[in-house]
A and B are shown apart, each in its own frame.
Chain A
Amino acid sequence: MPQPPTPEERYEAEAQVISGQVRPARRAYTFIFTFPTLMALWVVLSGRFDTFHLTLGVISCALVSFFSGDLLFPHAPHPRLTLRLWWRFPLYVPWLLYQIFLANLHLLYLTFHPRMPELIDPHMVRFRSKLKSEMALLAFANSITLTPGTITVRVSPDGDFVVHAIDRFSGEALPGEMEARLARTFGED
């Protein structure tokens, strides 16, 4: 089981990217991950399957992934972890959509309730998340903002969250199941 990168490893990877001294092995990983992503995007957006357009696509995608492959996957030192993430993340999305739908119905009910000002109770929730990697924190913060009733106000790199919640019901659900699922998705459980 590969572990997620520690902060030291991440800083080292960043320093290598900035100074241009990327190890050849890392270059190869980022190329292997970046090229198919870009190529798939090219094929979908162009919609032409003749040799000329596909060749143009291969050339430009290869050039872009060679020069800036580090931008799309800056912290992917473990290919197995990245593959696992790509497998797990689509499993997380339907659950997130379901939660968004439920929470939107709640917010819709609040919006049209005649005595809405008595029902809502805006307050700040502070908690500390167990998640460690930056990608996991970003996904968690965006998921909190996407589920109505809660907006992420501030996240620190250590996982300190400040969240604005519209009522007690929305605030109570944090961090809860969403964090546990994200921890599983990003291999941090």
Chain B
Amino acid sequence: MNLAVTIILGVGLVFFLGGAVGILRFPDFYSRLHPAGKMDTLGSFLMLGALALYHLHPFTLDNVLVAIKIALIVVFYFLASPTATHAIVDAGIRAGQAAWQKPKQGAGS
């Protein structure tokens, strides 16, 4: 059980790392939102899921309640995160930020 929890936590960390590196590496505002808004979502889903699993270990009512509360956090995260990402994109479009396009000759940026 502990091994499974550790593995899931590790995978979640990899996604968080990918999100952080992605924010630094992608070329413009809009494409940076892709890793920022969503790899975080999966990363936190995995990590909170692992924590819930870890808490279930002595299977008592209190621990089940804690696990359900963690699951509720995940549910609200999944509702709030895309909404926030959409709000940021919409603000960018309204402010007139131009989206980065691939250069025609494919020379890279």
Query: How many angstroms from the CA of A22 to the CA of B30 in the assembled complex?
Result: 44
Query: What string of 1s and 0s marks CB contacts (under 8 Å) between B60-104 and chain A?
Result: 001001001100100000110111011001100100000111100
Interface check B55, CB cutoff 8 A: no
Whether A104 and B108, one on each chain, are in contact in the complex, defined by CB atoms closer than 8 angstroms, is no
Whether A108 contacts B14 in the complex (CB less than 8 A), given A118-B108, A122-B31, A151-B30, comes out as yes
Q: Indicate whether A116 sits within 8 Å of B25 (C-beta atoms), given known contacts A122-B101, A124-B99.
A: yes
Please report whether the interface of chain B is mostly helix, strand, loop or mixed according to DSSP: helix
Q: Contact between A108 and B18 (Cβ–Cβ < 8 Å)?
A: yes
CB pair B31 A148 closer than 8 Å: no
A181 sits at the interface (CB 8 A): no
**Count: A-B pairs, CB below 8 Å:** 106
- 1/0 per residue, CB under 8 A from B, across A15-52: the answer is 00000000000000000000000000000110100000
How many chain B residues sit at the interface, stated as a range, is 35 or more
Contact B108 A122 (CB under 8 A): no
Q: Which residues of chain A have a CB within 8 Å of any CB of chain B?
A: 44-45, 47, 97, 100-101, 104, 107-108, 110-112, 115-118, 120-124, 141-143, 145-149, 151-154, 164, 166
Interface residues of B (CB under 8 A from A): 14-15, 18, 21-22, 25-28, 30-31, 33-35, 37-39, 41-42, 45, 62, 65, 68-69, 72, 78-79, 81-83, 85-86, 89-90, 93, 99-102, 106, 108-109
A-B contact pairs, 19 of them (CB 8 A): A104-B42, A107-B38, A108-B14, A111-B22, A118-B106, A118-B108, A120-B31, A120-B102, A122-B30, A141-B82, A145-B85, A146-B81, A151-B85, A151-B89, A152-B86, A152-B89, A153-B90, A154-B90, A154-B93
